Structure 1
Amino acid sequence: MVKLNRSINIAKIKETGEVIIADECFKEAKEGFRYRKLFHEKEISFECLECLECGQDLNISRSSLDRVYLRHKANHEPCFLSDNELEDYQLEEYERAVAAKESDRHKELKWKIGNRLMPVPGVESGSVAVDNKFIVKEDGRRKPDVYCRFKGKELVFEIQLSELSLAYILSRHNFYRKHGIYLIWILDTYDVKKQGTKEKDLKYLSSHQNFFKLDESVQEFRLICDYKFSFLTDDNELLSKWLDKSISLHQLKFEEVSWQSYYFDFSRQLAELEEQQKIKRDEARLEREKKLLEQRENNTKVKITGIVQEIKRLKKARAIDFSEVTNEIEGLDLHELKALNVYLGFNNPERYKVPPLFSWVDEAASIGPFFLIFILRCAEIELDVQGSASSGESLFTKVISTLNTYRDTVVKLLFKRGYNLTEADREIYKAKMGIQGSDGLMSYEFCNRLTNRLLVDDVSKHFKLLLIFESIHLGRVTGFHFGDDNWVAFANNAIEYYPKYWARIESALKQSELWETLHQKDKKKTFLKKLESWEASSPVQAEDAFDVVFDLFPHFCFG
């Protein structure tokens, strides 16, 4: 049952095949009633009116306002023209399209297609129907222009000569697809390069983008198919163009999922070409990257070779100043630095029979230490400072036993490079330097304990101050000739000579519980007087030693 029996403006007289327009026949109410009376008395020439869409009988009815109109009979089967959901403009467009099916050209094409289909191999005998077969389903009925069965498939041909409403196109497209029937639109005149609304609406219903028209240059059934063809240019640009080909029914392909028929699958070809285009782009990109990498490697090789040659030249000339080549090395990027260090191989113990640093220490003793100092200072050059000679001698002991001048400078550079003292180093240093070397060893011990080796120079700068904190840390006076527990002399010296750091020294004394001991031992109140004097003057406290003190004594909480 339909929801509402909507009025219709177009119909066919069964007896004569004449198409009438209700608005024209029933323009005047009086005239309309005359037609209605004659119709019901069977005195009018169109004894039965037929719906052009579904072929069902129509009645002439009147409205409460005495308007005469056409309407399906009661309990009619579903018909698209009586669909109450259509807008008025859509109904008008649809009726125009239906009316166009009665033109002479339309009829000519229908019969040509039908007659030419009959002898086609694969078309079932007696299955061809031209404008006389209704396909009736539960959701409606359609009368295609031409119908046939081909190799077990149902095919319908719909001929369109003028602009079509989208509602008209979709009603047929969706109906046939829903019921597993292949719809082939036959156009007569169209321009694939300047497509109108009709062509675009039909094209986008299918991803294949094929247009068909009857090939009237031959007598057998053939269609001219205009199809979109894509191709890649030599520059890997993806372009498309329209081609046409006369094809037989056997050359059509039928896709059951979408119930579409086509000759050339544009979307599949496009997808394949897009993949080829991507592959070619990737290949071109990889080729460009390869060339850029080769160029980069060549440029790096030239740059690194130039730097190495300059280092060799300066070394041979016993140069003192290596600043220019140092600046050049510092300007290298990470890739170039890696290439330089691979080329030099100074941190590779298997590269040289004698570790280069050991040889350079020997050279420094005879011709000067400037090349050795340059190498150690240039942080970008990777070095194995912890390695040992074949005899087991460490680099530290090699420097201590070989160099007299610049010895301390070179040792500190070793610590900056991450050198760690061994017990053998300590023993050898003590044996060589004796008691006079105790301060030097203590300075090296501080360097060895640093977490941040960039603070090595601060150890020398604040060595005595560090000994003060070391004494507090150990709980015995260290590095001063006051005696192990002479805390009064220790504190008097600290507050007198290091007043700018006293606040932190006092804090460390209090945290280590030496503060009470100090006051107990201060029988003559010498320290108390110095403390009162310091508090009275209240000198500004310096911050320049804070980093190295905190690095070595992080357990002291300095507020």
Structure 2
Amino acid sequence: MSYERSIKEALDKESGQILTADEVFKISKEAFALRTKSTKKEIDLYCLECHQPLNISGSKKDNLHFKHYPKADSCILKDSKFSSVELEVLSKVYRSKESVRHKNLKRAIGEKLIKISDVSNVFIDDRFIKDSREKRKPDVYCEFGTAKIVFEIQLSDLSLKYIIDRHEFYQRNDISLIWILDDFNINGQKQMERDIKYLTEYQNFFALDESSESFRLNCTYKYVHLTEANQVRTKWVTKSIALSQLKFDVETKQVYFYNYGAKLQQMGLLRDRRIEKLKIKRIEDERKAEEQRSQHKVENLIDRIKNEWKTKFPNLKKIETLIRDLNEYEQDLFEKSSLFVSDDKGSRIHYYFGKAQAKHFNFLAFIINPNLVSISLNELSNEGKTILETIFFNKELEHREYWVKRLAIAGYRFQPVDFNLFDKLYLKKQDVEALKLLCQLSESIGNPLFKATLFDHPKLICTMESAKQNRIVGFGWNQSQWVAFANNAIDSYSEYWNHIESAFKAYGFWDELLKKDSKGTFHKKLKAHHHNPPDYKRNYDYLLSFLYPEAVNNPNQFIF
């Protein structure tokens, strides 16, 4: 195994030559002759790293080597252990420092820095920086404002250990280090190129801009940008910059022009904002497109309804299906259309019923169907008429009793003038009375389905109401016919007698009714009924419990 020397080379200041240990100590006779010259001070040997004097020392096996004097200051070649590969790299670095190119760059940097007014204390390869552990002599040192800066020129490959050592030393001594990379390939794959590329978070690399008479650096940095597809991308960019454009990281002592880490974060946030903005825009565009489709759909529906008004035999089944298919937004558009909303020309409901002919029967039924259309029924016409007055005064319209019931089911609130019109219907007096009662009761019911149920069995409702009012209503009988009224009820409405009897009792007329039965006819019917009761029907339980809660228990308290 060959002898491994920690100091590969030394500088002979007398001749300016670099002596390589493996060469000058190869032949023993010549090696010891050289040692004699060193001892006699005929040659002046210095360390290429720390520039301290060296001597030539021997070993038990007569292996000569360069060595620092015992009281020498700290030096990495003296205090650290390097591999043979690392020592070889260091040797190349030291040789490059003595090259013409290296000396020219040092001089050019120093001379240009001196010309800058804010720069002071410029030293070109003649100032040592020491701390308690080491000392270094940078290629160029200067002070720029409050910042202390050193420039280290790199012309050959550097080991990662060498790079980190320099960085930590200057950081420890509150000095910012700028590597001048003379022949650095940013896209290179050599180990040194990869090491130095990712050494700092800023990823700024500097070379002297020799095309400029003043001091400028060519800064190569990783530029962050956002593509049209909102993808964060980077590319290497080189820009000539002045010393004043540099920024200094106070904590790490790193020097940079372009803050890659911060820009990357900012671009990520910008990308996220753009994506969110595009998402919101897409949602808004989709909403507007959907609204336009809905508007077109409603417009087509309205046109169809207008055409049905004009036709002799309107077919509204398809239109009813289309209306039920409307979503909430479309339903709102539909109900706010000119078909149903009144304007300065007058009430729409009065227009339809005022202009209607016999052929419009189905259309009118459609227009006041609360399950399909929301139209104001209680508006007065321009002449101050109620909708019922408009109907009665339109001689083309028949079936007025039907329209009275349909308006009640649709939620119309009857006025005193309306009830006066009931006398014009082709009805018996007791039926007019019953109709008035049902219309009045309908106003207390909100559910259109129960309003319709109200008109399904008017005599049952009149019987219950008679029990409640303690007077016979809607039958045309005088008030002395209570026993006959009760006998008729138990015979005609036996399947609902349980509710009727309960009503008589709840509203305080039961005892009076029994007293009036002097012949006992009602008692006999009552006894027979309870002896063989029918199957009571429950189809009106919800309605009756709402109208007469004192008499009929509510099957479901949440229905109304």
TM-score (norm 1): 0.66
Query: Which of 107, 110, 129 lines up with 1:115 in the alignment?
Result: 107
Conserved? CA contact 1:156–1:181, under 8 Å: yes
In the alignment, the residues of structure 2 paired with residue 244 and residue 195 of structure 1 have an alpha-carbon distance, to the nearest angstrom, of 19
Secondary structure of 2:390 counterpart? helix
Mapped to 2, the partners of 1:450 and 1:286 lie a distance apart of: 45
Deviation at 1:459, TM superposition (A): 1.4
Question: Could you tell me which amino acid in structure 1 is paired with residue 403 of structure 2?
Answer: V
Distance 1:479 1:380, change over 3 A: closer
Residues 516 and 203 from structure 1, CA distance in 2 versus in 1: closer, same or farther, beyond 3 angstroms? farther
SS at match of 1:449: coil
What is the identity, as a one-letter code, of the residue corresponding to 1:104?
R
1:307 maps onto 2:301 in alignment: yes
- Map residues 139-218 of structure 1 onto 2, 5 A cutoff: 143=136, 145-152=138-145, 153-158=147-152, 162=157, 165=160, 181-187=175-181, 190-193=184-187, 208-214=202-208
Structure 1 position 241 matched with structure 2 position 235? yes
Query: Does structure 1 conserve the Cα–Cα contact (< 8 Å) formed by 2:298 and 2:334?
Result: yes
Give the 3 Å change call, closer, same or farther, for CA 302–126 of structure 1 in structure 2: closer
Which one of the candidate residues 497, 502, 508 is aligned to 2:493? 497
User: Which SS does the other structure have where 2:356 is aligned?
Assistant: helix
Partner deviation per Cα, 1:39-59 (whole Å, 9 max, x = no partner):
xxx9xxxxx99997999x9xx
Superposition deviation, residue 387 in structure 1: 0.5
Q: Percent identity?
A: 21
**Contact 2:433–2:473 (8 Å) recurs in 1:** no
Please, which moves more after superposition, 454-463 or 214-223? 214-223
The more displaced of 190-199 and 435-444 is 190-199
* Cα offset, 1:518, TM superposition: 7.7
Q: Which amino acid letter does the alignment assign opposite residue 558 of structure 1?
A: N
- Residue equivalent to 1:530: 529
3-state DSSP class of the match of 2:381? coil
1:105 aligned residue: 96
**Does the aligned pair in 2 maintain the 1:208–1:265 contact within 8 Å?**
yes
User: What secondary structure does 1:369 align onto?
Assistant: helix
235 and 557 in structure 1: CA distance in 2 versus 1, 3 angstrom threshold: same
Separation in structure 2 between the aligned mates of residue 293 and residue 230 of structure 1, nearest angstrom = 35
Match of 1:405 among 385, 390, 398: 398
State the AA in 2 paired with 1:328.
L
1:380 deviation in Å?
4.7
2:435 matched residue in structure 1: 440
CA deviation map 1:265-320 (0-9, x unaligned):
55676677778878887887788788767766765565445434433333222224
Which residue identity does 2:554 align to in structure 1?
F
- Matched-pair contact (CA < 8 Å) for 2:423–2:432: yes
Q: In the alignment, residue 387 of structure 1 is paired with which amino acid? A: E
Structure 1 residue 421 corresponds to structure 2 residue 408 = no
Partner SS, residue 461 of structure 1: coil
**Deviation at residue 381 of structure 1 after TM alignment:** 4.1
Q: Answer yes or no: is the 8 Å Cα contact 1:10–1:51 preserved in 2.
A: no
CA 1:470–1:251: 2 relative to 1, 3 Å: same
Shift of residue 154, structure 1, vs aligned partner? 0.7
* Corresponding position of 1:326: 320
Q: Distance in 1 between matches of 2:469 and 2:195?
A: 93
Q: Does the residue aligned with 1:389 lie in a helix, a strand or coil?
A: coil
Matched, 1:372 2:368: no
The match for 2:461 is 466
Q: Deviations over 1:236-261 (max 9, x none)?
A: 7664322224x365364224556543
Q: TM-score, normalised by structure 2?
A: 0.66
| CA contact 1:54–1:141 (8 Å) conserved in 2 | no
Query: RCO (CA 8 Å, sep 6+): is it higher in 1 or 2?
Result: 1
Alpha-carbon distance change, 224 to 367 in structure 1, aligned in 2, over 3 angstroms: closer
The one-letter code matched in structure 2 to 1:493 is A
Q: Offset of 1:96 from its aligned partner? A: 7.1
In the aligned structure 2, how far is the partner of 1:467 from the partner of 1:544?
17
In 2, are the aligned partners of 1:11 and 1:19 still within 8 Å (CA)? no
Change (3 A) 1:105 1:175: closer
Higher gyration radius (CA): 2
Give 1:229 shift. 3.0
Aligned to 2:348: 356
- Distance in 1, matches of 2:387 and 2:296, equals 33
Structure 1 residue aligned with 2:247: 254
**d(CA) in 2 for partners of 1:389 and 1:268?**
72
Alignment of 1:467-482 (within 5 A): 467-471=462-466, 473-474=468-469, 478-479=473-474, 481=477
- Is the deviation greater in 442-451 or in 372-381? 372-381
What secondary structure sits across from 1:440 in the alignment?
Answer: helix
Residue aligning to 1:67: none
What is the CA distance between 1:148 and its match in structure 2? Answer: 1.9
Please name the residue that 2:445 is paired with: 450
- How much does 1:419 deviate? 2.1
Question: Unpaired segments of 5 or more residues in structure 2?
Answer: 13-17, 22-38, 40-44, 55-66, 556-560
1:144, distance to aligned residue in structure 2 (A): 6.6
Whether the 8 Å contact between 2:219 and 2:241 is mirrored in structure 1 is no
Deviations along 1:444-480, one digit per CA (max 9) or x if unpaired, are: 1232211212332211224334345444555655445
Residues 1:215 and 1:352: Cα distance change in structure 2 (over 3 Å): closer
Q: Identify if the C-alpha distance between structure 1 residues 411 and 203 changes in structure 2 by more than 3 Å, giving closer, same or farther.
A: farther
| CA 1:373–1:98: 2 relative to 1, 3 Å | same
- Is 2:544 the partner of 1:549? yes
Match of 2:385 among 390, 393, 397: 393
Deviation at 1:145, TM superposition (A): 3.6
| Helix, strand or coil at the partner of 2:368 | helix
How far did 1:376 drift?
A: 2.0
Change (3 A) 1:333 1:216: same
Give, as a single letter, the amino acid of the residue that structure 2 aligns with 1:442. L
Letter in 2 for 1:356: R
- What letter is aligned with 1:354? G
Letter in structure 2 aligned against 1:315: W
The answer to whether the 8 A contact 2:490-2:525 is kept is no
Superposition RMSD in Å: 5.8
Structure-2 separation of matches of 1:200 and 1:484: 116
Q: Answer whether contact 2:224 2:264 (CA < 8 A) is retained.
A: yes
1:240 maps to amino acid: T
Of 217, 221, 227, the match for 1:227: 221
Q: Is the 8 A contact 2:298 2:333 kept in 1?
A: yes
Partner Cα distance (2:340, 2:79) in 1: 93
